[in-house]
Structure 1
Amino acid sequence: NTYSVAAAWLAFGLDTKKNTFYRQSDVPEVCELMWYLNCFTPFPMLANAHSFKDKSETAASVNAGLFTYPVLMAGDILLYDADQVPVGKDQRQHLEMTRDIAGSFNHQYGDVLVVPEGSYDERVMIVPGTDGRKMSKSYHNYINIFLEEKALKKQVMSIVTDSLPLEAPKDPDTCNVFALYKLLGSTDQVADMRAKYVAGGFGYGHAKTALLEILIETYAEQRAAYNGWMNDLGALDAELAIGAEKARLVGAETLGRVRGALGLD
């Protein structure tokens, strides 16, 4: 999973000279900082976290790692003295928790941690998943655009639709296939697809085939680049190692301030 995520970023052109690109597990400082921050995080805050509440009905499947996950996210942010953090709407709560945790620490020990501001773009939408919910690996409802074509087709064809027959007119605004297609198609393509839905005689199989074709066409260059990186894991490791070295230099300074404030230096 780490390699595939790293390869995806690089396939889409991330400039590692302008960005610090690293694997979290290569920066052990974040785990140490997380432990210190845990001591300043109240139980009710974690109990109200969406990441916990979404799974709390099946408590037997919830472990301490999931419960304290927001503190790990806070450590990931605070370790690098981030001033601005670009986040989506569904991550707003995590950033607010980070700010609260940093504020609690600073209240007792002075301005040791940088309290970040959130950078929100209201135009950013939530991408729908194959079942109509928010697309998420946790829900297993995502489309992996880097799969080989046969496996990608299987994912696209699994998108949930209603049972209207081929000849029936259909409402594109309630269709999961159309919701994904309109994110990729041009204005004319989306308008043409909408007209076919409304006219009838156009089945969901046709719509899914059109979605598959536009996925392959849109991401052809990125799919090739991704496969190139995945076939050269040594090069991937080298990129990640360079980033980890830079990240650890910044993290060491922050952790030094925290240790000093706590009398642990």
Structure 2
Amino acid sequence: MTNTASKTRVLTGITTTGTPHLGNYVGAIRPAIQASLDPNVQSYYFMADLHALIKSQDPARVQQSRLEIAATWLALGLNTDNAIFYRQSDVIETTELMWLLSCVCDKGRMNRAHAYKAAVADNQAEGQDDDKGVTMGLFGYPVLMAADILLFNAHKVPVGRDQIQHIEMARDIATRFNYLFKEEFFTLPEAVVDETTDVLVGLDGRKMSKSYNNTIPLFSTEKELLKLVRKITTNSLEPGEPKDPDTCSLFEIYSAFATADETAAMRVKYLEGIGWGAAKNELFEYLNGVLSEPRARYTELMQNPAYIEQVLIRGAERARDEATPFMARLRKAVGLGRFA
């Protein structure tokens, strides 16, 4: 079994319903890669393909997305000798734990989950039944997320600000379980939010999201990347007119990738009235320089899915080395242990 007792445990994942974009990289993948290189941190990074089924019933899309996401993380340098990298669906203990947690989680708590409340609000605005189109997958999403986290007793969970509520729910569910079964089975996880990069803006100035169709795919070709950068919304200020970097999508994306000194230098250019065309060209050049090498590696990996499969199988085996005995302990705690 992997010895992780003395290490800080960090866990995160990305839902496999689309192509990874710059927002995914800044908000989740980059901190994951950094943590995977730290020998004092035990990282658990997974493709949340069970979560994907809540949003998509398109098998081809889910399958392709799983491959793209795995290739993305590996291309960006995830250290799979240290980090445990796996598909959520390969660790069957996750869904078993979800059921145990569901049986101690009150429905009222789930009623307050942001995603469910948003779905109800949309239905009400359209004069529909509150729960029209709401699946049990959507309703119970926070419990599955809690199972992801608590199965490995993660100390820290890097998330965007919009996911903080789910970490709080995981803490509440863990506390309830520990209380009912009179043992500290679960560590209470902490959300880790990078205040400077937790939500990256997209082409239209809103949060970069597949649902808004405003993303910049992480490994677009040079031609595609330039085209998308040029589509980023700006105001009508002319070259030579001072511009506010703090309200500019271009500057926010640039600063999420650049160093502090580079960001400060770009801020000066804004105040001096850099033209939007020049600002977009600088952003493109910077992004292309950062992403060109991993883009080439990504292309190689996408042409070798057998290698990716081997990496994921090995990761699932390591994950289950920990999850299997822990679930046996939890089964016994709730009265489902073996007789002999």
Q: TM-score, normalised by structure 1?
A: 0.87
Structure 2 spans left out of the alignment, 5+ residues: 1-64, 124-131
Aligned pairs for 1:90-169 within 5 A = 90=161, 91-111=163-183, 113-118=185-190, 120=192, 125-130=197-202, 131-166=204-239, 168-169=241-242
Aligned residues: 263
Report deviation, 1:72: 0.6
Distance 2:233 2:280 in 1: 10
Summarize deviations over 1:100-156 as a string: whole Å, max 9, x none: 111212222222622233163666532421233333444443322211122222322
Distance 1:248 1:221 in 2: 33
Distance 2:249 2:292 in 1: 23
Distance 2:81 2:68 in 1: 20
Distance 2:208 2:332 in 1: 42
Q: TM-score, normalised by structure 2?
A: 0.70
Query: What amino acid maps onto 1:153 in structure 2?
Result: L
Residue 292 (structure 2) aligns with: 220
The structure with more helix, counted as a fraction of residues:
1
Q: Aligned match of 2:98 in 26, 30, 34?
A: 34
Report deviation, 1:20: 0.9
Identity %: 43
Report deviation, 1:236: 0.4
The structure with more strand, counted as a fraction of residues:
2
Residue 158 (structure 2) aligns with: 87
Aligned pairs for 1:68-83 within 5 A = 68-82=140-154
Secondary structure of 2:190 counterpart: strand
Q: 1:89 to 1:146 in 2, by over 3 A?
A: closer
Structure 1 spans left out of the alignment, 5+ residues: none
Report deviation, 1:77: 1.2
Is 1:183 the counterpart of 2:252? The answer is no
Coordinate RMSD, CA, aligned: 2.4
CA contact (8 A) 1:88 1:121 kept: yes
Distance 2:118 2:229 in 1: 26
Report deviation, 1:73: 0.7
Distance 2:122 2:195 in 1: 34
Q: Aligned match of 1:199 in 261, 272, 287?
A: 272
Secondary structure of 2:218 counterpart: coil
Secondary structure of 2:84 counterpart: coil
Report deviation, 1:196: 3.7
